[in-house]
Amino acid sequence: MRDEAVADLNTPEHAAVAFGQRPPFLFALLLALLVVLVIAICIGAIPLPLRGIFGLAQMSNMQDVVLYQIRLPRVVLAAIAGAGLACAGATLQALFRNPLADPSLIGVSGGAAVGAIFMIVLGAGFFSDALMPYLIPLAAVAGAIGITAMLYGFARWFGNFEVSTMLLVGIALNSISTVAIGAFQFLSDDTQLRTLVFWLMGSYGRATWVTVLPAVGVIVSAVLVLVSLGRKLDILQLGETEARHLSVDVDKLKRYTVIAAAAAVGAAVAVSGIIAFVGLIVPHIVRLIVGTSNRWVLPGAVLLGASLSVLADLVSRIIIVPAELPVGLVTSALGAPFFLWLIAVARPRT
């Protein structure tokens, strides 16, 4: 379908498409997201009537509570976290000019996890429980930005800010995060450990409006910034020097990308734990649909990331009723084989 769309540059109607103008595909992704959202809201341990959720039919009090206090915050969280992770993944792949880049690969997810765990384990003695829903995401975003700032600082200190240097430093920082997470697990008591393990597997299960709304604010702002950088990230694919020769301020572009991506990942990790592979898989599927240009890949990743994340959560809710799988296990089960396949096809070409 894509190849047909770009097959002929010699007719004006096709030329527009060939120039990467792909709103129809984005529109389809948006429709798909809306359908997925409605399905995910209706299906669950307590099914909700389709007419009821649109206010066309009377619902019982219990159905109202399920809809507004349980189902809706959870679906919104799944959508916004998936959108944030997928968009951050796509921009990091563009920034590192590496199809295998992922928030977890360069240490951003790890940094966010360290920040959140730090607050869960050590903050409990200092702050009241009422403050924790705000402090944990704050610490996670701080952790993600902190790690990314260190990444930036190291790379500068090494004398150049080449992408490969940054990637290697990211791998090293990731190992440090692993050590810190292990140490905090060792320090935690039994109840905390249960929370940590469940959280590290990734779950949207404890969503409440109190935890979800701050994440929505952070991720929406970060995603708006990232989507606006799409065209410049395309030019960056020519190389840093070439991008400068075409008027792109590469250092500024990197700074904005890194901070916005870190904020999106930090906010997502804080409320849902580490949901692996969304940031890796979604951008690749989106490229098959809308083409390579980040002008369309980034908004596409937002829409498809939200859809797939909500679907994965739906599967985790209904696959072993009445229990629930952590959604991180579902995405990893789907993502790991995909990752292997990607490694096989993305080997460096000569």
Which residues of the chain form contacts with another protein (CB under 8 A)?
A: 6-7, 9-10, 12, 15, 18-20, 94, 97-99, 231, 234-235, 237-239, 241-242, 244-249, 287, 291-293, 349
Least Å distance, CB 278 to another protein, is 19
Least Å distance, CB 235 to another protein, is 5
- Residues 324 and 318: their CA atoms lie apart, in Å, by 7
Least Å distance, CB 182 to another protein, is 33
Q: Which is nearer to another protein, 320 or 345 (CB)?
A: 345
Select from 40, 28, 340, 12 the least CA-distant residue to 207: 40
Least Å distance, CB 186 to another protein, is 40
Helix/strand/coil for 65: helix
Residue 333 has phi, psi (to 5 degrees) of: -60, -35
Side-chain half-sphere of 42: how many Cα atoms within 13 Å? 13
Least Å distance, CB 68 to another protein, is 42
Q: Which is nearer to another protein, 115 or 300 (CB)?
A: 300
Select from 259, 236, 260 the least CA-distant residue to 247: 236
- Residues 313 and 135: their CA atoms lie apart, in Å, by 25
Q: Which is nearer to another protein, 206 or 231 (CB)?
A: 231
Q: What is the CA radius of gyration of the chain?
A: 21
Side chain identity, residue 329: L
Q: Which is nearer to another protein, 205 or 291 (CB)?
A: 291
Q: Which is nearer to another protein, 3 or 129 (CB)?
A: 3
Q: Which is nearer to another protein, 14 or 206 (CB)?
A: 14
Q: Which is nearer to another protein, 61 or 241 (CB)?
A: 241
- Inter-residue long-range contacts of 183-192, CB under 8 Å, 24+ positions, other chains counted: 184/114, 184/117, 184/118, 184/120, 184/121, 184/122, 185/117, 187/121, 187/122, 188/120, 188/121, 192/120, 192/121, 192/124
Query: Which string of DSSP letters, residue by residue, matches 46-61?
Result: S---HHHHTTSS---H
Please tell me what DSSP assigns to residue 292: S
Least Å distance, CB 95 to another protein, is 11
Least Å distance, CB 276 to another protein, is 22
Q: Which is nearer to another protein, 20 or 133 (CB)?
A: 20
Least Å distance, CB 5 to another protein, is 10
The continuous run of DSSP H or E covering 271 comes out as helix 250-272
